[in-house]
Structure 1
Amino acid sequence: MSSLLTSDMHAWARGLAGRIGREVPPVPATRRRRLLLVHLDGVPKALLDAAVRTGRMPFLSSLVRSGAYHLEEAFWGSPASTPCFQAGLLYGIPHPNLPAYAWFDRELGRRVRMNTPQDALDIEQRLGRTQAPQLFAEGGHTYFTLFRGGARNQICMSTLSSLKGMARALSPEMEGLLAARTRHPFRYLGSLGRESWRALREIWRWGRALGDFRHEGDFLISRVLLQQLGWSFAHTKALVDMVRGVPSVYLVFGNYDEVAHRRGPRSEQAVAELERVDGYLAELYAMARTVEHPYDVVFLTDHGHVESLPFEQRQGQRLEDMLLRGAPAALPEAVSGGLLDGRAPLPPTARPAPEAPVVIESGNFAHVYLTQGRQPLEARALVAHHPEVLARAARHPDIGLVALRRGDSAVALVKGQVYRAEELEQAPLAGEFSRRAVADYLRELPFMPTAGDLVLFGEAVRPGATVGFAWEFGSHGGLTRTETCSTVCWSAEGPVALSGLTHCVNLHQRLAEAYLD
């Protein structure tokens, strides 16, 4: 497969490897085979397929079209979001109880968000209770993951919670960076300044055209710190790691995901990030094949993105206002009957003390907590105590389906009718939804007690687009075919086949068998 690299790329990799090797010592060999895992966060498979077909990502296209690499569809389970995927990949947990990127955590008793370091650390400690082997233990390194997953280094969201720990890790993390630089520092700073200025101008134009600047300040910081400085650092460190012989490296490219949320998954800015990363993939692959002990390289995505049409923009009010303070609504008899499923209604005396509801807009889906107790509400309690909220959710044209618990299982409420996972073929779902993914979500919901009492999914209002409950223009975590169809791309000559994967735990198991001695 080294024939896929040009002579210039071979020469570049040999020269850089020699320079790094003279500056940093190797690490003791601990594995028979070495692994580089490159995670393209949020990239839809259809977009990668198109980039391969048209040559818009020329390096990745050469890998796949030559037959050297297989590129196939994978299904990682529900929900289609990074926390759930990384819990399965890093820890091998089939039911991690991670319902979104942001939610109200019943065990912690507060809202959590995975870009908050302390929240990520709290969840990481919960995940660490598993007895399964951690994929990047025994000296592995991870970059810009949410959780550490046993890695030796400290470049992930959870480790940012400790400034003291980060300070201790700073010196070893900087080792080899100067030797591995591919541009003079002044040229890099000049490029960074120009990119930042272009980003500032684009953000100003976007905010003025939309008449709304919410999130744009955070987006600018993300463009500079994460997409420019952060990715350059992680990419360079991965090159250093391979020269040193770090046994396994996991590198997350989050640029596309960040831009897709704010500008849309097929926007010019988002697609440009894919074109940009293709050159970095070529460099990583060149180094992986050049070092003394070559690396097996696997590329993957964790979910797709759909265009998101904000509910607030369409309706002139937030989802929370519509659900909790909307006009009076009567629950249709077909809905209450389907949710009770032949059981007697709860008596009025069973009504609990009122609590402040919590609505978490998680993208194109939302978690509605009508109680903050440790146990979620089941259908009988919802029918008895919150019929108006149920009625508003069931009748609203921008809500495609509602998932909720019924007994020890879960059901979907679609256009005024109740469906079990086994009955979804009869449900009048929009064509954009994946019935397989909806069924999987209903089977998973009983294992997610910290998910909302109601989980709402935005209606698919046109091909490739759904209503979003958060103020964003690209969403994931929902149940469309685009969001739940992921990608895995691996070497035809590698030690493990990665076809037919139906859960991220399958990926963990196959990689562990091949790379954990």
Structure 2
Amino acid sequence: MGNVRGRPAGRWRSAGRALLRVLVVWAVSTLTMLALAGLLPDFRLQSAQGDSLTRTALTAAAGAGVFGLLTALVWPVVVRALLLVPALVLGLLVFFLNGSLLLVALWLIPDGRGAAEPETAVVVAAVMSAVASATSTALAVRDDDAYRRRLYRLADRRRPRRVTGGPEPEPGTLFLQLDGVGHRVLRDAVRAGLMPTVAAWLDTTHRLTPWRTDWSSQTGASQLGILHGSNEDVPAFRWYEKDTGRLMVSNRPASAVELQRRAIERTGDGGLLTLDGASRGNLFSGGADQLALVLSMAARRGRVNRSRSGYFAYFSDPANAVRTAGSFVAEVLREVTQSVRARLRGQTPRVRRGGLYPFVRAFATVVERDVVVAAVMGDLLAGRTAVYADLVAYDEVAHHSGPQGRDTDQVLRRLDRAVALIAGVAEHAPRPYRIVLLSDHGQSPGPTFRDAYGLTLKDLVRAGCGLPVPRRVRRTPWGHPRTESGGGAEARDAARDALRSALHRPVDGREEEAEAARELRGRPSEPMVLASGNLGLVSFPEVPGRMTREQIELRHPALLRTLADHPGIGFLLVASEEHGSVVLGPGGQETPVAELRDDEGPLKGFGPGAADAVRRTDGFPHVADIMVNSAYDPTAGTVHAFEAQIGSHGGLGGEQSRPFLLSPLALSAPPPGLAGAEQVHEVLRGWLREASGPQVPLEDSRPAGEVEELLPADAPAGPDKNS
């Protein structure tokens, strides 16, 4: 009887506390509106003749109440209607829509006492939304039950419940990818106190394991292998397929769709997340039903799997747009400041960071992070079995600022706070969660190939083919000193001699260049040169199939030796009629692929696993005619990206090939010598099997398959509240 009597009493207490919170938020919103009316000349809450303080306060209370009601009832409907609008556009529209709701609220105040100019309404609405959200959060945090209920309500409008009398639910698993964070970077960040959450886990509940990537050390290859169990025939981030005439780029939706289709066809399996899974911020779905910001699903518009649905979950609370917009602006200013500081200090190596890059960085480090973190917290509170999410912030900044330094240190601190926030929300989930942190690759520092030698890989290939080189290349000394090698004069002379030999003429001779141009008239096409970090791919589109060394030397006698002898090139992979395939290195080094050994011959210094990685790529149907890996300095750990990146990944050499797994001790230890994304997939599958068992059904109020993301703007602290 005590329990029966206690339930109604508990409900009344709960209802009373909820009503009190509503009244407090209303009162704070009213005071905020009064304060803004006093500060902003274009915002008034009085009639033209003036009103008493009491009357003005009642007008403010009415306006705040109507605005809050409209925000709760109308806002989600409006945002869902705009779901197909691009994310940045939707983020901007949020402010205008929020301001419009405020104007409607003022219009509904009797006697026309409320009025504001449209631009002022946007400001007032933003401030009121932020204040109301902060107040609601502060009140909920004081009451654990209320805070838990609010998180569940934000997650899916109704808390999932275990079936009465059922066993405890099996643990769920969250795989959180910190894009581009290498094993050494993580260790150094922990030692430096940049990531206290990760440090605490390493001291108590988790183990850290390095693994080796494939030759193509980039997100497309790694994530396809991790999520779908196969990254066969992904030789680089971008490559040309002669048989289809298609240029494949891993981060283009059409290419991502095709790569995912091929992987599923090859394995006969939908992916890592097929059992009640969620995929957030990834290139590929992993077979998940619940998707948000998944590139391979970007073109889909169905009700169930809309890839933009994560934006709805995020922007369904206007306070989130206010918070994220403030962080976005702060991040743009931070990038501009850091870029100017680097120029003033004469920092080297350095790349251009102007144009749209500050906005691209802010989107990756703020908008994408906030939306993905919110979606993940919703998945945890909805009790998903497996979740895989990618946070790209570090990778984006490291490309332009370098893998280690003040810029990336700030990003690592904010990533740690995001991890802590997710872990805190997991404590309120309807099932226990095992959180695995991992990365898809690392990053290797170094000046770009162009900065180090005064020309691009494409320029070098054109020279080796006897094609005219740009005027800027002719005016540039053939190779700047490589500070890490100490052999500046030798590098400069070798580069100059190689190019002159390749051109068979003085590089400054305009007459010889004109003659070369006349000789080249009528040729069907020029070589296609593509860059993927410090991995370059050279293809001859007019020649069907993979060209052999003999064919290349017949058409372009100087090309292969020009490339192999250049001081910025580490080694080449090319097919051979005599040896099957060979790897060429400087000084005439030549090793058949079947005889490759780690740290010997052309692969000396590239570390364990290099030979197997090259052999595997050599067997891909769409390997390029010439695969070019930049030089690597083992002492300095530097490579030369063929793109404008001073932190790069994509080939072999240094920390780019050494990502990490940070796994709970409750899971079995990964095998030693873990190599390749496909092996990582098998490890993650094994962990999911360890957690499997009789699944406990969770009651849910929504139709099956409906996308459910959460935006916990009302959590105690955002992933980067100080941005």
User: Which of residues 661, 678, 683 is equivalent to 1:510?
Assistant: 683
- Does 1:22 find its partner at 2:193? no
- Does 1:404 find its partner at 2:582? no
Distance 1:214-1:102 versus aligned 2 partners, 3 A rule: farther
The residue correspondences of 1:329-340 to structure 2 (distance < 5 A) are: 329=501
**1:208-256 Cα deviation digits (max 9, x unpaired):** 9799986633422322222111111100110111001122111111111
Distance 1:165-1:292 versus aligned 2 partners, 3 A rule: closer
User: Which of residues 203, 208, 226 is equivalent to 2:364?
Assistant: 226
Letter in 1 for 2:642: F
What is the TM-score when the length of structure 2 is the normalising length?
0.61
CA distance in 2, matches of 1:27, 1:125: 33
Letter in 1 for 2:613: Y
The residue correspondences of 1:384-403 to structure 2 (distance < 5 A) are: 384-403=554-573
CA distance in 1, matches of 2:545, 2:160: 48
Whether contact under 8 Å (2:368, 2:391) holds in the other structure is no
CA distance in 1, matches of 2:269, 2:314: 34
2:105 is matched with: none
2:115 is matched with: none
CA distance in 1, matches of 2:663, 2:402: 28
User: Which of residues 640, 664, 668 is equivalent to 1:491?
Assistant: 664
Report the more deviating stretch, 470-479 or 119-128.
119-128
Whether contact under 8 Å (2:277, 2:387) holds in the other structure is yes
Distance 1:321-1:443 versus aligned 2 partners, 3 A rule: same
1:4 is matched with: none
The residue correspondences of 1:223-372 to structure 2 (distance < 5 A) are: 223-326=361-464, 327=499, 329=501, 354-371=524-541
**1:315-373 Cα deviation digits (max 9, x unpaired):** 22222122222546479xxxxxxxxxxxxxxxxxxxxx854210002111200112455
1:375 is matched with: 545
What is the TM-score when the length of structure 1 is the normalising length?
0.83
User: Which of residues 234, 252, 262 is equivalent to 1:126?
Assistant: 262
- Does 1:447 find its partner at 2:584? no
| Matched positions, count | 481
1:137 is matched with: 274
SS state at 2:590 partner: strand
CA RMSD across the alignment: 3.3
Whether contact under 8 Å (1:109, 1:372) holds in the other structure is no
CA distance in 2, matches of 1:499, 1:103: 32
CA distance in 2, matches of 1:485, 1:244: 34
As a proportion of its length, which structure holds more strand?
A: 1
Letter in 2 for 1:412: V
Letter in 1 for 2:563: A
1:348 is matched with: none
Unaligned runs of 5+ in 2: 1-140, 164-168, 465-498, 504-522, 693-723
SS state at 1:512 partner: helix
CA distance in 1, matches of 2:527, 2:220: 24
CA distance in 1, matches of 2:590, 2:687: 44
**1:454-479 Cα deviation digits (max 9, x unpaired):** 11111124612112211111111221
1:115 is matched with: 251
1:89 is matched with: 226
- Does 1:104 find its partner at 2:240? yes
Letter in 1 for 2:434: D
Whether contact under 8 Å (1:160, 1:166) holds in the other structure is no
Whether contact under 8 Å (2:297, 2:307) holds in the other structure is no
1:338 is matched with: none
The residue correspondences of 1:46-61 to structure 2 (distance < 5 A) are: 46-61=184-199
**1:26-69 Cα deviation digits (max 9, x unpaired):** 67999944110011111121111112233321110111123x11
SS state at 1:424 partner: coil
Whether contact under 8 Å (2:597, 2:603) holds in the other structure is no
SS state at 2:403 partner: coil
Letter in 2 for 1:361: A
SS state at 2:683 partner: helix
CA shift for structure 1 position 206:
5.5
SS state at 2:431 partner: coil
State the identity as a percent. Answer: 24
- Does 1:471 find its partner at 2:644? yes
Distance 1:273-1:144 versus aligned 2 partners, 3 A rule: same
CA shift for structure 1 position 184:
6.5
1:458 is matched with: 630
CA distance in 1, matches of 2:307, 2:254: 19
Distance 1:354-1:372 versus aligned 2 partners, 3 A rule: closer
CA distance in 1, matches of 2:307, 2:296: 15
Whether contact under 8 Å (2:171, 2:433) holds in the other structure is yes
CA distance in 1, matches of 2:330, 2:193: 28
Whether contact under 8 Å (1:13, 1:283) holds in the other structure is no
Letter in 2 for 1:104: Y
Whether contact under 8 Å (1:29, 1:245) holds in the other structure is no
Distance 1:375-1:29 versus aligned 2 partners, 3 A rule: farther
Distance 1:110-1:29 versus aligned 2 partners, 3 A rule: farther
User: Which of residues 64, 68, 71 is equivalent to 2:202?
Assistant: 64
Distance 1:322-1:230 versus aligned 2 partners, 3 A rule: same
CA shift for structure 1 position 166:
8.9
User: Which of residues 637, 640, 653 is equivalent to 1:480?
Assistant: 653
Distance 1:167-1:223 versus aligned 2 partners, 3 A rule: farther
**1:433-455 Cα deviation digits (max 9, x unpaired):** 22x23202221123323232111
The residue correspondences of 1:28-43 to structure 2 (distance < 5 A) are: 32-43=170-181
Report the more deviating stretch, 479-488 or 21-30.
21-30
**1:132-176 Cα deviation digits (max 9, x unpaired):** 3511123311112111221222421222235x4599737853576
CA distance in 2, matches of 1:242, 1:180: 19
- Does 1:413 find its partner at 2:571? no
Distance 1:291-1:126 versus aligned 2 partners, 3 A rule: same
SS state at 2:446 partner: strand
Letter in 2 for 1:503: G
Letter in 2 for 1:106: K
Unaligned runs of 5+ in 1: 1-9, 332-352
Letter in 2 for 1:128: I
Whether contact under 8 Å (2:565, 2:585) holds in the other structure is no
Whether contact under 8 Å (2:441, 2:658) holds in the other structure is yes
CA distance in 1, matches of 2:308, 2:403: 37
The residue correspondences of 1:186-197 to structure 2 (distance < 5 A) are: 186-197=322-333
SS state at 2:298 partner: helix
SS state at 1:433 partner: coil
Letter in 1 for 2:249: R
Distance 1:330-1:133 versus aligned 2 partners, 3 A rule: same
Question: Which one has more relative contact order, counting CA pairs under 8 Å at least 6 apart?
Answer: 1
